[in-house]
Chains A and B, each alone.
Chain A
């Protein structure tokens, strides 16, 4: 963890059109996230954490406001540029099972390296194996997603998210479908990643029990930040 700011969120609002008016999912959010920091986006269901994460992760654009990754304002990038950013510099872990069902654990992890444009060779193979070992699945590399439990799948997803050495990992409720013990171990894993690999992790959760692991917390309620 360093004091260097990696992500700056400036006055970000997101308004969705709804029948008979508009709904402000985010209202002028400001925040900074430091490099190598494990940050938790906290809030109840519908508080706007996923919306914020999608905007920061380049999957969605804010209605107003700006998001910077270092000095690059991502909301002004073209779609192609944002895609390239997601491929190379970001890693994603979703609430639901997000593995490619036709690829086994090893191939799923390797695929993110392909996407990032890494040459597939002995080096990448070692990296894939290391990542899977890191998440504790070194002996289940050839298993298909359908043959793994929910927690195991989520761990493969984490391995996939870190394999290509992204600058940021976005994890949207990765523990929502896991029991508390498993949730704690997955959270712990994220923390280790951030420490060991120097990757910045932004994770959303509504599980209060996981907050201790966080380096910093951004708390939202009804689209507003309440712990600024």
Chain B
């Protein structure tokens, strides 16, 4: 049996190869999704951690425990110490370091040296784990072996921040007033050394300035020996326990358990009283929320791809059975058992699936890398790499995909193994309508998805609220579009025969024999082509739809980011305050040196921009309207900012010119007119947050302005979302300076072509600039591009596109080769009757037009229609948080050319192959076919 099977497979090698390709694609696509997800989520998690480090300067995964042990009798300190050390095992995350920080009650110090200022000396003796590793002694020396000097004084070291202000002396011994050691002797300390922290950004120093300024550190072991063990009950000690979790160890699949365990420790464990709720909980919660949303989105995007692959397999295996029907029915009529036939196909499917798994799994890993490297639709960036790890989930997916491929290949055998030659002849005579056609599935699908569209369209703002609140989006939204496409595709198949009939009837008098026969063939046997036509329609319309989705989402996100960023690089320096002795009441800002920006080598241009979003417009006596105030140099500002066209009624530069010619003029946002009834020429008095006012005459209204968001959407404390208007006043920088004095301004910088963000950061470091705001358009764009939701969407859509187009090409070719082979006898008869080869080609072209070109045109129409309808709704799901600009539907012509290019190449190739087959066909042999 095995040999028969292998022979059969070899005999039909093209068919076998197509099935194999289908199975390989099914398995590799299926596993690439979980692999990609895992890697992308891990990367995202590390990004979140790194963000905390760069933004807040904190260790991102830290557990902090505090006990304030007053006369500790229960040995609590020791217990918490043990707990702090064991928590890593409990949470399953490795230890970076564990730090105990104990501070003895503050005491007044009596110097042995009878100092005059002795009364002012107040210091806490403290112990800090491994302090020696984080400091350098700048004066004196470190602890001795015992931590005690020869007189039994406790050796302490103090930071420079303590040594200088307290006026301590090296080698000085001091007695802690009111404290005694275990034996009732007074506690005496000796200043052994002065230290400086090794690294200012060391996460070891967690307790702020006081940790350095008010503490004298003794040897930790000695501290524990003297104060926290048996004598603990005599003292009041403030104990802090820090467990630094190694966040690099944390993987996305561990997060859920980490959150649950942490919550348990904080809320239910015996240590709930000492353990502070760690900050990472919030980070992880929002991370999980994001992940859920991304997972749901990606899953919904993947499903159509997987369905297409399965449909392909079913189609090809259907073709195979169709082709082998004769053989099956002959074998069956000669007495083979159904089970034998079934087994033959089962073995064949198993061999194909096994080979497909061997090839498909490594290919799937490759696919997931491609997914991770997708920058834009059908665009890849080799810098975007992911560490792909094979996971349990991927194994499950692989197994599922293999099962699916096995089923797709064998299930049709059950049906076909029933058929004997008699049934076959009967079946061939029947011309049946598809079940879907009788059930009006197309109409139902269109109605259901149309209803979905109507609902979502009506409730678009509700949609963005949903997303803003963190809820995952209604899957029906995604499904609606797919169903709509499927419904229209089927509907086209329903009307297709009538369309052909119409064309036939219109030109009935003119059709030559070749056209005549191809029309008749299509009218009679067109139903056979429905599956491949549907495949073609779905590939093209989904291709167009997905290309539009991907382009639209990304282009809108990018455009928004660019718009909101304003300048290419925006810097705001820290402005120190000056205390002018002659003017006690008014502190003024000290302006940092601006000239260094003007001589910046990496910049093409720069300009000062006064920007505040905490200005206001007094309305009546008690009301005020919050406004954003922007002060600019019109010429400089105009030369380095752009606005997308069509956002405002007039070109951007006209507004700048209007403002430029009127020194007392202001540009205001259109909502001043809409909501407060202001007109051009009206004067407005507005104030900054300090209450200083300025007056300007309105020269024009703008809807949009670089960096200005007309509406803000935010979340209320109760979790509901709301939308609020933003008001804008644009005026001259110099006017504000005149009215309000020099205020901290932003510097908007236009970089030279060859320079990027790293040059700016270098420059900042070299010039020792202290920043309060820094934003870089390219870096923000990069973040937007790398956002897993966008990136994953682009990746899945791109891969889905490539896979379906590949399947479509193979499927189309196979279908037509089969269709020709099936009709070889007919072609032989035609040739015998004197049909020219040119007429055969003509006939084939006609058939390609009816089947291929019609489907392609339908696909294009359906794709465009559904894009126009559903993409704007879908886009809401991706960009609602910072969608400021009006949504634009983006279709990249290049995508369309690619799509049409591949499809036309496929059809041309199919035509070539078919012509080749027909021309090679021997008429007399073909006629013999019928005699069997």
Interface residues of A (CB under 8 A from B): 54, 57, 59-60, 80, 83-88, 90, 92, 94-103, 107, 111-112, 114-115, 120, 144, 146-147, 176
Bound state CA distance, A59 and B834, in angstroms?
9
Please indicate the chain B residues that have their CB under 8 angstroms from the CB of A54 in the complex. Answer: 924
In the complex, the answer to whether A115 meets B513 with C-beta atoms within 8 Å is: yes
Q: A96-B825, A98-B825 are contacts. A146–B835 as well, Cβ < 8 Å?
A: no
Please indicate the chain A residues that have their CB under 8 angstroms from the CB of B829 in the complex. Answer: 92, 94, 98-100
In the complex, the answer to whether B834 meets A84 with C-beta atoms within 8 Å is: yes
Bound state CA distance, A85 and B927, in angstroms?
19
Partner of A115, one of B509, B835, B930: B835
In the complex, the answer to whether A86 meets B832 with C-beta atoms within 8 Å is: yes
Bound state CA distance, A87 and B514, in angstroms?
13
Bound state CA distance, A96 and B925, in angstroms?
13
Bound state CA distance, A144 and B431, in angstroms?
11
Q: Taking the nearest CB of chain B, how far is it from the CB of A14, in angstroms?
A: 11
The stretch that binds A, out of B521-529, B758-766, B853-861, is: B521-529
Please indicate the chain A residues that have their CB under 8 angstroms from the CB of B833 in the complex. Answer: 86-87, 92, 112, 115
Beyond known contacts A59-B832, A147-B429: 10 more, CB 8 A cutoff: A54-B924, A60-B924, A83-B834, A84-B834, A100-B826, A101-B524, A103-B517, A114-B512, A115-B833, A176-B931
Q: Is B428 an interface residue (CB 8 A)?
A: yes
Q: A83-B834, A86-B833, A114-B513 are contacts. A102–B525 as well, Cβ < 8 Å?
A: yes
Q: Is B836 an interface residue (CB 8 A)?
A: yes
Q: How many contacting A-B pairs (Cβ < 8 A)?
A: 75
In the complex, the answer to whether A146 meets B931 with C-beta atoms within 8 Å is: no
Please indicate the chain A residues that have their CB under 8 angstroms from the CB of B378 in the complex. Answer: none
Q: Taking the nearest CB of chain B, how far is it from the CB of A18, in angstroms?
A: 15
In the complex, the answer to whether A92 meets B832 with C-beta atoms within 8 Å is: yes
Please indicate the chain A residues that have their CB under 8 angstroms from the CB of B517 in the complex. Answer: 100, 102-103, 111
Q: A59-B923, A96-B931, A97-B930 are contacts. A102–B524 as well, Cβ < 8 Å?
A: yes
Q: Taking the nearest CB of chain A, how far is it from the CB of B822, in angstroms?
A: 10
Kindly list the 4 A-B residue pairs having the minimum CB-CB distance in the complex, ordered from nearest: A96-B930, A87-B834, A86-B834, A102-B524
In the complex, the answer to whether A102 meets B520 with C-beta atoms within 8 Å is: yes
Bound state CA distance, A96 and B931, in angstroms?
5
Q: Is B740 an interface residue (CB 8 A)?
A: no
Bound state CA distance, A89 and B835, in angstroms?
13
Q: Taking the nearest CB of chain A, how far is it from the CB of B514, in angstroms?
A: 10
In the complex, the answer to whether A146 meets B927 with C-beta atoms within 8 Å is: no
**Which residue on A lies nearest to B823, using beta carbons?**
A101
Please indicate the chain A residues that have their CB under 8 angstroms from the CB of B428 in the complex. Answer: 146
Mind listing 27 A-B residue pairs with CB under 8 Å?
A54-B924, A59-B924, A80-B836, A83-B836, A85-B834, A86-B834, A88-B834, A92-B832, A92-B833, A95-B931, A96-B927, A96-B929, A96-B930, A96-B931, A98-B927, A98-B930, A100-B829, A101-B524, A102-B523, A114-B512, A115-B513, A115-B833, A115-B834, A115-B835, A146-B428, A146-B429, A176-B931
Most-contacted residue by chain B among A96, A103, A176 (CB, 10 A): A96
Q: Taking the nearest CB of chain A, how far is it from the CB of B819, in angstroms?
A: 13
Please indicate the chain A residues that have their CB under 8 angstroms from the CB of B520 in the complex. Answer: 100, 102-103, 107
**Which residue on A lies nearest to B518, using beta carbons?**
A102
Bound state CA distance, A102 and B509, in angstroms?
19
In the complex, the answer to whether B930 meets A94 with C-beta atoms within 8 Å is: yes
Interface size on B, residues (CB 8 A): 27
**Which residue on A lies nearest to B516, using beta carbons?**
A114
Query: What 1/0 flags go to B397-434 for Cβ under 8 Å of A?
Result: 00000000000000000000000000000001100000
Dominant SS among interface residues on chain B: helix
Q: Taking the nearest CB of chain B, how far is it from the CB of A83, in angstroms?
A: 5
Bound state CA distance, A59 and B825, in angstroms?
15
Give the residues from 883 to 932 in chain B that come closer than 8 angstroms, CB to CB, to chain A.
923-924, 927, 929-931
In the complex, the answer to whether A94 meets B927 with C-beta atoms within 8 Å is: yes
Q: Taking the nearest CB of chain A, how far is it from the CB of B581, in angstroms?
A: 106
**Which residue on A lies nearest to B521, using beta carbons?**
A102
Q: Taking the nearest CB of chain A, how far is it from the CB of B573, in angstroms?
A: 82
Q: Taking the nearest CB of chain B, how far is it from the CB of A168, in angstroms?
A: 13
Please indicate the chain A residues that have their CB under 8 angstroms from the CB of B429 in the complex. Answer: 146-147
Q: Taking the nearest CB of chain A, how far is it from the CB of B29, in angstroms?
A: 38
Bound state CA distance, A92 and B926, in angstroms?
15
**Which residue on A lies nearest to B524, using beta carbons?**
A102
**Which residue on B lies nearest to A55, using beta carbons?**
B924
**Which residue on A lies nearest to B930, using beta carbons?**
A96
Please indicate the chain A residues that have their CB under 8 angstroms from the CB of B826 in the complex. Answer: 100-101
Q: Taking the nearest CB of chain A, how far is it from the CB of B818, in angstroms?
A: 16
**Which residue on A lies nearest to B526, using beta carbons?**
A102
Q: Taking the nearest CB of chain B, how far is it from the CB of A44, in angstroms?
A: 16
Query: What 1/0 flags go to B494-532 for Cβ under 8 Å of A?
Result: 000000000000000100110011001101110000000
Bound state CA distance, A103 and B516, in angstroms?
10
Partner of A111, one of B513, B523, B825: B513
Please indicate the chain A residues that have their CB under 8 angstroms from the CB of B516 in the complex. Answer: 111, 114
In the complex, the answer to whether A83 meets B521 with C-beta atoms within 8 Å is: no
**Which residue on A lies nearest to B523, using beta carbons?**
A102
Bound state CA distance, A87 and B829, in angstroms?
12
Please indicate the chain A residues that have their CB under 8 angstroms from the CB of B929 in the complex. Answer: 96
Bound state CA distance, A107 and B525, in angstroms?
16
**Which residue on B lies nearest to A86, using beta carbons?**
B834
Please indicate the chain B residues that have their CB under 8 angstroms from the CB of A115 in the complex. Answer: 513, 833-835
**Which residue on B lies nearest to A82, using beta carbons?**
B834
**Which residue on A lies nearest to B512, using beta carbons?**
A114
Please indicate the chain A residues that have their CB under 8 angstroms from the CB of B521 in the complex. Answer: 102
Most-contacted residue by chain A among B512, B523, B834, B836 (CB, 10 A): B834
Bound state CA distance, A57 and B525, in angstroms?
31
Bound state CA distance, A107 and B508, in angstroms?
13
Q: Taking the nearest CB of chain B, how far is it from the CB of A95, in angstroms?
A: 5
Please indicate the chain B residues that have their CB under 8 angstroms from the CB of A83 in the complex. Answer: 834-836
Bound state CA distance, A135 and B513, in angstroms?
24
Give the residues from 849 to 880 in chain B that come closer than 8 angstroms, CB to CB, to chain A.
none
Bound state CA distance, A111 and B835, in angstroms?
11
Bound state CA distance, A26 and B520, in angstroms?
40
In the complex, the answer to whether B930 meets A95 with C-beta atoms within 8 Å is: yes
Query: What 1/0 flags go to B590-631 for Cβ under 8 Å of A?
Result: 000000000000000000000000000000000000000000
Bound state CA distance, A86 and B831, in angstroms?
9
Bound state CA distance, A90 and B834, in angstroms?
9
**Which residue on B lies nearest to A177, using beta carbons?**
B931
Q: Taking the nearest CB of chain A, how far is it from the CB of B664, in angstroms?
A: 85
Q: Taking the nearest CB of chain A, how far is it from the CB of B569, in angstroms?
A: 70
Please indicate the chain B residues that have their CB under 8 angstroms from the CB of A101 in the complex. Answer: 524-525, 826
Please indicate the chain B residues that have their CB under 8 angstroms from the CB of A102 in the complex. Answer: 517, 520-521, 523-525
Q: Taking the nearest CB of chain B, how far is it from the CB of A36, in angstroms?
A: 22
Bound state CA distance, A146 and B509, in angstroms?
27
Most-contacted residue by chain B among A80, A102, A176 (CB, 10 A): A102
